[in-house]
Amino acid sequence: MDSNKISVWDIFVRLFHWSLVAAIGFAWWTGEQGGEWMDWHKRCGYAVLGLVVFRLLWGFAGPVYARFSHFLYGIRTTLGYGRSVVKRQDPPYLSHNPLGGWAVLALLLLCALQAGTGLFANDDIFTEGPLVHLVGYDWSSEITRWHKSLFDLLLAVIGLHVAAVLFHQLGRREPLLQGMITGRKPVAGAVDVQPAVTSGTGVWVKGVLLAGLAVLTVWGVINL
């Protein structure tokens, strides 16, 4: 074991991250294909919604480094961090840095809006979201336009996220990708080190229970 690294990202954060990548990617592909693939497009949307619900819950109940209270900083700290990046004097963080933390929240909200509008959308042919009956066809058509426009915005934010990761990974030699795979990150110089339990029975019990709650939440919503 490398004594210079500690466990930061628990298994549920890592599963969430890569599952969301897969769900968004497959949702995009199935949406482009249309036709019989639209049923899978809807399933991907439900998966995205469930993942976001879980991550929001985990942001309050998960281990320290997964909590919003740990990586959402005030405006002054965030702006100060931005200035330090420009000067190449930014310190390393174990969890998300101040800019990254707000980017994560923005991505979660955009994913929620994207999946949420999809519940009311239709393709003018055979496929419609499970909640179209709540708003009627005219409003559904309008929400469908929002759904398509939001995806362009989501792609732009994802692009910025990927660019930032590559900047830190390649330009600053920070092993962000490895950390999101193994859960471990170098502790040297990090300014947000806190005692944390990222594995064990308690983490698994909470994670499984909250994942079940997320599934039930999505099931309840799509069956309104």
Predicted local confidence at residue 72, as pLDDT: 96
pTM (two decimals): 0.92
* CB 120, CB 95: distance < 8 Å: no
Per-residue pLDDT tens digits for 52-63: 999 999 999 999
Predicted local confidence at residue 151, as pLDDT: 94
Predicted local confidence at residue 1, as pLDDT: 41
Does the domain spanning 5-222 belong to CATH 2.60.40?
no
Which helix (H) or strand (E) is 7 found in, with range?
strand 5-7
Predicted local confidence at residue 3, as pLDDT: 56
Per-residue pLDDT tens digits for 136-186: 888 999 999 999 999 999 999 999 999 999 998 998 888 899 999 999 998
Give the burial class of 89: count Cβ atoms within 10 A of its Cβ; 0-12 exposed, 13-18 middle, 19 or more buried.
Answer: exposed
Boundaries of every domain in the chain? 5-222
Beta bridge partners of 119: none
pLDDT < 50: residue spans in the chain: 1
